[in-house]
Every structure is written in C-alpha cells, then in structure tokens.
C-alpha cells in the first residue's frame, strides 16, 4: 500500500501545486514510484505545471466510472520516470460538489494506486471535501505564505481539520450522533473540544483524545522573505494555544524568481534550476519528509508516544533535521 502525502492550505494561491509537483519529481529521482493526484476539484491545474495542456485522461473519467481503477488515469510525465500524474477534473457542478459516495470511492481507491508514494494536491479551504482529502495523508503537509491572511486561514484550516478528524472518529465508533455543539460551536482550544465531547462512559473521550494526539501536521512556509519571522512567531503562538504543541516545520521556501520562470515555461523548478534557493530548500524538505515517513513506518506506536510528547513540547522523532517553528 502506498504512503499518502496530502498537501493542503487554508487559502488558494499559496504554492501548493509548486510544492506538490516539485516534491513529486524529487521523490521520483530518489527512486520512489510516485503518483501525483490533482484533487483540486474545480480548480485543477497541476497538469499545466507539467506542460500537459490537454491530458487525454483525467480524474473525471474515474469519477464518472468510465474507468474502474485510478491506475488507468495515471500518466507518466515528461520530466522523470517513476513519476505519474492524475490530472484533475474539469469544472462541472457534479465534480465541484462530489456526493459522499463518490468521494468515499475516490478515497478508497487512492490506496490501490500502484506506487510507493501518492501525493495529493488538495483543494484549498475548509470544505468537508478539502478536510477529508487532507486527513487521508499518512504525512499531512500544510502550506502557507507569511502574509497575515494566509496565516489566519491556515490557523482556521488546522482547527477545523482537527475537529473533523475527531468527529469522523466519534462517528466511526458507531456512536451515531455527534453532539450538535461539535458542529456549531467555535472552539478556542483542543481541551474545549474534548470537554464538549464529554465522558459517556464508553471510551469515546479517550478515543477522541488519542485521535487528537495523532494529529501531526507538517508545515511548509512558502514565499519567505527576510521579514517573515514575525508572522511565524504569531502562527506558532496561535497553533500552540489551540492544538497544544508545535507545528513541525518541514521547510521555508524563499521567494524565488526561478519558480515564476519555471511556471511560465511549464518546467518544474527543481529541473530548471536545481541550485536556486527554492530548489535547494525543496531538496531539504524531501529529506525531512522521507525521515518522517521512515519513522512512522518503523514504529507507529512510538510515533503516538512522540506525538504525546509533542503536545507537551516538541516532536522529537525528526527533531534533528526538522525543527519546530
């Protein structure tokens, strides 16, 4: 079964697709069989980054059941063997608002992709669709820019992702009803969420607590400038207050003219300019991500313990190379 890396953001235009496409290519160059899936339904454009202006097959073919397997719509891209792309859907009402059953079928089939690593370019924002795709990741990566609106949107995204994770978990225990307060209230901390769940004597509270402890989002700050430090400190403060620990920093990609140039000529920046500052940081991000994945695979239970420790301080499993904010 492939390892799933989901890449999401609180708002659009922050560089999710740049990060997803370049990480995909770098992972393939590390010998991994990678499939990139453009789940930005309604706003799909990952194929354009690879110069595929009119892909012969897209996710729509799977959603409309023209093909039965996602593998049938995964196509090799020009820039590296080992990297395949599933182009996103066009903009139709049916795909922009995927019914529950279709969404679940899509999520189920991601695990059958013939790959070592599947990267999901998730839709921006906090719709159930965005949150549910994001929560499929074995490694869940969030991308933001240092500007205040992006940081606020990221904070909102993380809060709602944590809440959605808990609610899904409570429902999966067959409890049936989720208290309406969980859907309607605005919480200012994870402890408030747990208090709202309450102790029903059936282990729901313990399960919810564990689910939250396993929420370990990894953070990429993109388009960083020398003035970015202030917003990072602010984000750290807000996230620390809500999820009770540090966001794990995967990397800080600088604003780089080579990225813009690479977009204009449909060539991933790590291929066009492997030594530019952005490419060098993306290279470091790959190493940290692979470390994180290796650690999770080795000992998921250890990972849980580490995440518990993270809630009282920092995630130590990748501490050496992956510094908390």
Ligand X SMILES: Nc1ncnc2c1ncn2[C@@H]1O[C@H](COP(=O)(O)OP(=O)(O)OP(=O)(O)O)[C@@H](O)[C@H]1O
**Which residues of this protein are in contact with ligand X, per CB under 6 A?**
9, 12-18, 40, 43, 45, 124, 222-223, 253, 255-256, 259-260, 263, 278
To the nearest whole angstrom, how small is the minimum distance from the Cβ of residue 61 to Mg ion? 20
- Closer to ligand X by CB, 40 or 283: give it: 40
Residue 15, binding choice from Mg ion, ligand X, none, Cβ under 5 to 8 Å by partner class: ligand X
Q: Based on CB atoms, which residue is closest to Mg ion, 24 or 245?
A: 24
Smallest distance from ligand X to CB 40, Å = 5
Closest CA relative to residue 325, chosen from 253, 234, 241:
234
CB of 37 to Mg ion, least distance (A): 12
Assign residue 203 a region (left: φ > 0; alpha: ψ between -120 and 50; beta: otherwise).
left
* Residue 260 interacting partner from Mg ion, ligand X, none (CB closer than 5 to 8 Å by kind): ligand X
Give the CA angle between residues 18, 35, 88 to the nearest 5°: 65
Residue 13 vs 51, nearer CB to ligand X: 13
Query: Shortest distance, CB of residue 130 to Mg ion, whole angstroms?
Result: 12
At its nearest, how many Å lie between ligand X and the CB of residue 255? 4
Give CA–CA dist 172/151, Å, rounded: 31
Name the token pair of 216.
């370990």
Judged by beta carbon, residue 40 or residue 246, the one nearer ligand X is 40
Structure tokens at 7: 């890449």
Q: Which is nearer to Mg ion, 44 or 250 (CB)?
A: 44
The CB-of-254 to ligand X minimum distance in angstroms stands at 6
**Residue 76 near residue 84, CB atoms below 8 Å:** yes
Residues in contact with Mg ion, counted by CB under 5 A, come to a total of 1
Note whether 145 binds Mg ion by CB under 5 A. Answer: no
Exposed e or buried b per residue across 91-125, where buried means at least 16 C-beta atoms within 10 angstroms of its C-beta = eeeebeebeeebbeebbeebeebebbbbbbbbbbb
DSSP line for 69-124: -GGGG-EE-TT-TTEEEE------HHHHT--HHHHHHHHHHHTTSSSSEEEEEPPS
Using the rule CB under 5 A, is 17 a contact of Mg ion? yes
Binder of residue 206, out of Mg ion, ligand X, none (CB less than 5 to 8 A by kind): none
For Mg ion, the binding residues in 103-122 under the rule CB under 5 A are none
State both tokens at 310.
């993270």
């Amino acid at each position: 079964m492939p390892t799933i890396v989901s890449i999401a953001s609180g708002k659009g235009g922050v560089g999710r697709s740049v990060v997803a496409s370049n990480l995909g290519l770098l992972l393939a160059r590390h010998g991994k069989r990678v499939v990139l899936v453009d789940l930005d339904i309604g706003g799909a454009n990952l194929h354009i980054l690879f110069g595929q202006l009119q892909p012969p097959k897209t996710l729509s073919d799977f959603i409309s059941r023209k093909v039965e397997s996602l593998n049938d719509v995964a196509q090799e891209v020009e820039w590296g063997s080992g990297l395949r792309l599933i182009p996103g859907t066009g903009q139709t009402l049916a795909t922009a608002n995927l019914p529950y059953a279709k969404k679940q079928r899509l999520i189920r089939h991601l695990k059958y992709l013939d790959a070592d690593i599947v990267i999901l370019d998730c839709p921006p924002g906090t719709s159930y669709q965005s949150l549910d795709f994001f929560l499929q990741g074995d490694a869940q990566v969030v991308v933001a820019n240092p500007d205040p609106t992006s940081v606020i949107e990221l904070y909102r995204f993380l809060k709602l992702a944590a809440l959605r994770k808990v609610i899904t978990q409570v429902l999966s225990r067959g409890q049936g009803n989720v208290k309406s307060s969980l859907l309607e209230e605005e919480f200012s901390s994870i402890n408030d969420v747990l208090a709202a769940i309450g102790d029903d004597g059936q282990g729901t509270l313990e399960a919810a607590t564990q689910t939250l402890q396993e929420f370990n989002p990894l953070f990429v700050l993109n388009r960083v400038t020398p003035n970015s430090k202030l917003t990072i400190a602010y984000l750290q403060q807000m996230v620390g207050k809500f999820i009770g620990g540090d966001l794990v920093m995967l990397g800080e990609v600088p604003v780089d003219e080579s990225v813009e140039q690479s977009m204009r000529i449909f060539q991933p920046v790590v291929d066009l300019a492997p030594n530019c500052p952005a490419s060098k940081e993306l290279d470091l991000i790959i190493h940290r991500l692979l470390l994180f994945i290796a650690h999770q695979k080795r000992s998921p239970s250890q990972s849980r313990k580490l995440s518990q420790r993270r809630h009282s301080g920092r995630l130590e499993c990748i501490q050496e190379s992956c510094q908390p904010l």
